[in-house]
């Protein structure tokens, strides 16, 4: 070869970015096994097939090596960092030594691809894959639907929309291949189809989805179909490309289980080989007479035919004609039956609930399957998964309520008035800590207000402080089943990470342990504060809440009463008096508690200058309601276990103040009765004489009514104000003791409990709304809802070892706290259908808004605003390798106690259900005996204390469904173990309720785990289609909780 030395020298001195690779290497020539000289360090630059050797980075090139007709020998041992270039010409080999193993491997790859032969091989690979990977987007991008603005731009008039039912997928089809040609005659094909979309406006190929792998046949019938959700921009002009691959090794098929970076191409040796591809227009399929296309598969150059592929249009709500003969597990000789239309089932696809559901659910992902039944028919299954906007809406509403509640409490502490120095210093310390916590809540709310993007928190973000109130990976998982001989059915499960305070950590355990320890320590706080039991502090909060709620209502009703009197309206006067009486009686009843009286005494002793003439007598909370007969028994105390008693304090004064409200109300009632009685008698007399004179009397009497009622109403307000002032101060003093006895642990525990409750409540609100929407036409369920309440069953998969034990303790308390939540259904007055949250800690009301048409379907009791109770229960069974350690070397008492406690709660709900509901309210295939037997079986399994007894979860889930409950499944991040459980539950339902062919159970299970919504959930969380398990972990898992080969590996959880 002839080269221009000047041009080569200029090329060697070009900037660093112009070279394919450069760096330091030690180089020498080798003859045989002997080095001619010791290796010398050189700066090497690779450009194309030219390797420049330089003494240093800035010097001239001392030698140029032409990388043609040579090959690379790489030493594969762990210690070697060298490679050798061998030349066909026979010249001495070139020895190159790198600084590290990774650098050596990088140089070996670069040098191996530098010559023209390597370039030809690369071009050949690219030609083979060009139709598949050219300008493709990454898989995760394909799953995210285009923004609405882009959809509007794409949806130009020249594109023909596909007709569909509201809230139903735009397009669904199933696939099958026939007569596939293998590269070798005896090769058994393991095939899958990759589906890509070409939009008519963009002409860009977008990878959309894949089928499952069908093994050992050249005529594969795929159980996984293709579905396009309502939001996806697909038209009749859209082209669908189907590419068939042969998988050599499922565990090495990394292209299907990983996400490629932008504009990167998959390597050819990734465990699969290209067989053929074909393309069709959506309009051709939709308009075809038989709603079926038979397409020819061809190689990438379009020449050779390698088989055919059948595309069958699918519509849920249709049933199939003809029977399926010779169904086998390898799917050989199966034909896809023709279908004919029928109407969609009532309540499953109605458009009336679309706006309100769209306000709650976002970014749906749909998968379509067809499985054979035991009687050789086809059933169709649509699997759906969706995020919910409630993941952020509920926590933000809740934090806002916490801020308002804490601001009121801080103000009430400041309004306590003058206190003795000891108590005043205590108050200042408490307010300072409370203000600090309040500021933290405000900062968190401000940060959440800035959040944009997806409406769920990924598992990778569970430790982020700004997102600690947000539930982890909250999704609706839905299965819609259309069976040949059974009615269509929906099965919903809410999947969410276990409600837990991950940012705060679990070094000292979770809420269950921390609360118990805190309460024990608080009893021994010393003399600096008064101990009140948790029941008393809860009562104090309830009294304060009632005051804040009832006082303004009573004042407004009193004003309405005076307004009715001024207008001389008897009917209005009666109604106003009735409302005033009801609210005032509730107000008076709120203070019928010994706690208020004893707290007033304690507050009296805390005032400046108060001296106890007799020593305080310790009194337990059970003794607080006794008479004063024990006060004459002095005892020497080291701390105040209860309320101090003062001999000169007039306890009857509170009774008089409190009773004055009732007396004032009686005076108002008596006056109104007297006025109405006089009015009736005067009307009769005046009506008999002069009508005009009667009109004058009425006007004068109107003034008399107002003048006579006004002083009585003012007295009522004054008496009520006196009661409010004293009661507020006394209850605020109780809260001061609660806070002072446990600073700062008390506030930190409150924060932790708020965080856990926020996560649990977001999931509960989502589950309630979805259940309500799907059961609006079920009168039995609606009657059960307002008569008994709603059962909410949580399935936990956490271990009782290490940090997960703390998570389980958090979760148990958070779910138990949901008992204090009530729901109320109201008619929406605007297009905003998001729920409204009111109340305070330990008592929240969730107002669910429904459109007018849906609201009219509800029973009268619910429409009138009856509060609906929740009955949450939790059953937990750890299934991973950490649970193995807990069972053999640790402690499983926590799990056993939780399961036993919640079994009793479940029995209570069942007894309540059987007492209040008629037997015919259970679904048609249920019987009371079934439930009794299931409950007894559950009881026996919990008592048996077997290791990893997953039958507990199966039984609890079955009982929940039979009692019309809402199902939840939780693990640490609702991603891996939850996916195994949810898919197992779905396939078990298909087997037990819809006659899934027994030979297809495992295949259906693997199909859902490999290609279903749950693997998409993994992708959304960690950007990788692999469950975060390894082989050693899976050995500890129960058999049916193990994913199929090739779907698991190293991934962040």
User: What is the spatial distance between Cα 936 and Cα 200, in angstroms, rounded to a whole number?
Assistant: 60
Task: Give the start-end residues of each E strand in 467-615.
Answer: 475-482, 489-495
3-state secondary structure of 857: coil
User: What is the spatial distance between Cα 891 and Cα 800, in angstroms, rounded to a whole number?
Assistant: 7
User: What is the spatial distance between Cα 761 and Cα 975, in angstroms, rounded to a whole number?
Assistant: 20
Tokens found for residue 678:
């006089």
Give the residue carrying structure tokens 């010409």. Answer: 89
* Helix (H) or strand (E) run with residue 443 in it: helix 421-449
Instruction: Give start and end residues of each alpha helix (H) in 39-138.
Output: 101-112, 116-133
Do 966 and 771 contact (CB within 8 A), yes or no?
A: yes
Whether omega for the bond prior to residue 908 falls within 30 degrees of 0, making it cis, is no
Do 211 and 309 contact (CB within 8 A), yes or no?
A: no
- ∠ CA 214-216-217, nearest 5°, is 80
Give exposure, 305-319, as e/b (b: 16+ Cβ within 10 Å).
ebbbbbbbbbbbbbb
* Helix (H) or strand (E) run with residue 144 in it: none
SS (H, E, C) 866-922: CCEEEEEEEEECCCCHHHHHHHHHCCCHHHHHHHHHHHHHHHHHHHHHHHHCCHHHC
User: What is the spatial distance between Cα 840 and Cα 524, in angstroms, rounded to a whole number?
Assistant: 29
Tokens found for residue 172:
């669904």
Do 934 and 903 contact (CB within 8 A), yes or no?
A: no
CB-based burial label for 959 (10 Å; 0-12, 13-18, 19+): buried
User: What is the spatial distance between Cα 995 and Cα 981, in angstroms, rounded to a whole number?
Assistant: 20
3-state secondary structure of 583: helix
User: What is the spatial distance between Cα 442 and Cα 401, in angstroms, rounded to a whole number?
Assistant: 11
Residues 6+ apart with CB under 8 A from 285: 173, 291, 292, 293, 311, 313
SS (H, E, C) 997-1021: CHHHHHHHHHHHHHHCHHHHHHHHH
For residue 971, indicate whether it is catalytic: yes
CA dihedral 426, 430, 432, 436 (to 10 degrees): 160
Task: Find the catalytic residue in 177, 277, 971, 1024.
Answer: 971
How far from 1018 is each of 231, 360, 610, 978, 1048, CA to CA, in Å? 22, 22, 66, 11, 11
Closest CA to 366 of 236, 225, 207, 492: 225
How far from 187 is each of 184, 191, 217, 296, 848, CA to CA, in Å? 5, 12, 10, 21, 59
Side-chain half-sphere CA neighbours of 112 within 13 A? 13
Residues 6+ apart with CB under 8 A from 177: 191, 193, 218, 219, 220, 222, 244, 297, 307, 308, 309, 310
Active site positions, annotated = 971
């Amino acid at each position: 070869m002839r080269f221009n030395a000047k041009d080569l020298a200029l090329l060697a001195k070009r900037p660093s970015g112009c070279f394919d690779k450069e760096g330091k290497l030690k180089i020498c020539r080798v003859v045989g096994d002997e080095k001619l000289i010791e290796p010398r360090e050189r700066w090497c630059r690779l450009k194309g097939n030219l390797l420049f050797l330089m003494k240093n980075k800035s010097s001239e090139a001392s030698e140029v090596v032409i990388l043609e007709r040579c090959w690379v020998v790489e030493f594969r041992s762990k210690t070697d960092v060298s490679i050798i270039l061998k030349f066909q010409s026979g010249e001495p080999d070139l020895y190159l030594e790198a600084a590290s193993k990774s650098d050596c491997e990088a140089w070996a790859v670069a040098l191996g691809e530098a010559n023209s032969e390597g370039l030809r091989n690369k071009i050949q690979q690219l030609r083979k894959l060009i139709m598949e990977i050219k300008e493709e987007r990454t898989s995760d991008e394909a799953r995210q639907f285009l923004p609405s603005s882009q959809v509007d731009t794409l949806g130009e008039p020249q594109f023909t929309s596909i007709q569909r039912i509201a809230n139903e997928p735009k397009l669904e089809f199933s696939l099958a291949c026939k007569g596939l040609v293998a590269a070798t005659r005896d090769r058994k094909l393991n095939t899958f189809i990759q589906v890509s979309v070409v939009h008519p406006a963009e002409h860009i190929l977008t990878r959309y989805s894949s089928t499952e792998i069908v093994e050992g046949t050249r005529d594969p019938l795929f159980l996984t179909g293709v579905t396009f959700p309502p939001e996806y921009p697909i038209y009749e002009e859209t082209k669908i490309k189907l590419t068939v691959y042969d998988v050599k090794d499922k565990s090495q098929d990394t292209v299907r289980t990983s996400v490629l970076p932008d504009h990167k191409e998959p390597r050819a040796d990734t465990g699969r080989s290209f067989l053929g591809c074909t393309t069709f227009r959506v309009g051709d399929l939709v308009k075809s007479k038989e709603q079926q296309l038979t397409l020819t598969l061809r190689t990438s150059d379009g020449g050779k035919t390698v088989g055919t592929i059948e595309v069958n249009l699918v519509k849920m709500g249709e049933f199939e004609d003809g029977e399926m003969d010779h169904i086998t597990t390898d799917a050989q000789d199966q034909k896809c039956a023709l279908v004919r239309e029928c109407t969609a089932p009532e309540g499953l696809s109605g458009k009336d609930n679309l706006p309100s559901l769209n306000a709650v659910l976002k970014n749906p992902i749909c998968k379509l399957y067809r499985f054979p039944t035991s009687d050789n028919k086809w059933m169709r299954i649509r699997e759906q998964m969706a995020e919910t906007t409630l993941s952020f809406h509920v926590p933000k509403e809740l934090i806002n309520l916490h801020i308002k509640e804490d601001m009121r409490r801080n103000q009430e502490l400041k309004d306590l008035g003058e206190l003795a120095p000891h108590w005043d210093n205590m108050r200042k310390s408490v307010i300072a800590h409370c203000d600090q916590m309040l500021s933290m809540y405000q900062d968190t709310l401000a940060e959440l207000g800035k959040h944009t993007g997806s409406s769920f928190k990924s598992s990778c973000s569970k430790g982020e402080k700004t997102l600690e109130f947000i539930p982890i990976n909250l999704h609706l998982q839905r299965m819609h089943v259309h069976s040949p001989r059974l009615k269509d059915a929906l099965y919903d499960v809410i999947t969410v990470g276990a409600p837990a305070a991950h940012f705060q950590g679990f070094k000292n355990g979770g809420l269950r342990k921390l609360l118990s320890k805190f309460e024990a320590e608080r009893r021994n706080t010393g003399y600096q504060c008064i101990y009140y039991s948790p029941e008393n502090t809860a009562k104090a909060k309830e009294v304060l809440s009632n005051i804040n709620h009832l006082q303004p209502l009573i004042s407004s009703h009193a004003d309405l009463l005076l307004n009715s009197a001024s207008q001389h309206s008897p009917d209005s006067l009666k109604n106003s008096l009735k409302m005033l009486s009801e609210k005032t009686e509730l107000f008076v009843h709120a203070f019928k508690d010994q706690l208020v009286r004893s707290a007033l005494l304690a507050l009296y002793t805390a005032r400046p200058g108060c001296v106890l003439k007799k020593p305080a007598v310790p009194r337990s909370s059970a003794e607080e309601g006794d008479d004063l007969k024990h006060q004459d028994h002095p005892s020497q105390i080291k701390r105040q276990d209860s309320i101090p008693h003062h001999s000169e304090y007039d306890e009857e004064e509170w009774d008089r103040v409190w009773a004055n409200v009732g007396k004032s109300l009686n005076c108002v009632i008596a006056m109104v009765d007297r006025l109405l009685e006089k009015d009736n008698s005067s009307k009769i007399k005046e009506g008999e004489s002069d009508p005009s004179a009667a009109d004058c009397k009425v006007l004068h009497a109107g003034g008399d009514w107002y003048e006579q009622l006004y002083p009585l109403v003012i007295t009522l307000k004054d008496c009520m104000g006196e009661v409010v002032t004293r009661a507020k101060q006394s209850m605020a003093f109780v809260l001061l003791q609660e806070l002072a006895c446990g600073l700062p642990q008390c506030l930190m525990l409150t924060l932790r409990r708020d965080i856990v409750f926020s996560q649990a409540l977001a999931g509960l609100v989502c589950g309630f709304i979805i259940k309500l929407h799907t059961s609006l036409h079920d009168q039995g369920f609606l009657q059960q809802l307002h008569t008994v309440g709603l059962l909410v069953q949580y399935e936990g998969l956490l271990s009782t070892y290490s940090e997960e034990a703390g998570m389980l303790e958090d979760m148990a308390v958070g779910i138990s706290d949901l008992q204090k939540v009530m729901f109320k259904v109201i008619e929406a007055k605007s297009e905003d259908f998001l729920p409204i949250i009111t109340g305070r800690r330990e008592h929240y009301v969730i107002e669910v808004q429904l459109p007018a048409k849906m609201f009219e379907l509800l029973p009268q009791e619910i429409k009138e605003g009856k509060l609906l109770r929740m009955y949450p229960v939790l059953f937990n069974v750890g299934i991973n390798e950490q649970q193995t350690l807990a069972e053999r070397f640790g402690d499983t008492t926590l799990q056993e106690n939780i399961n036993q406690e919640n079994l009793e709660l479940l029995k209570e709900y069942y007894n309540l259900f059987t007492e209040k509901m008629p037997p015919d309210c259970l679904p048609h295939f249920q019987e009371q005996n079934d439930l009794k037997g299931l409950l007894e079986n559950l009881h026996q399994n919990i008592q048996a204390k077997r290791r990893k007894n997953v039958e507990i979860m199966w039984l609890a889930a079955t009982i929940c469904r039979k009692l019309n409950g809402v199902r939840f499944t939780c693990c640490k991040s609702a991603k891996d173990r939850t996916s195994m459980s949810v898919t197992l539950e779905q396939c078990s339902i298909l087997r037990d309720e819809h006659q899934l062919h027994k030979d297809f159970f495992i295949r259906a299970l693997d199909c859902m785990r490999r290609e279903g919504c749950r693997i998409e959930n993994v992708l959304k969380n960690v950007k990788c289609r692999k469950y975060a398990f390894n082989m050693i972990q899976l050995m500890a898992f129960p058999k049916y909780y193990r994913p199929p080969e090739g779907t698991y590996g190293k991934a962040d959880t």
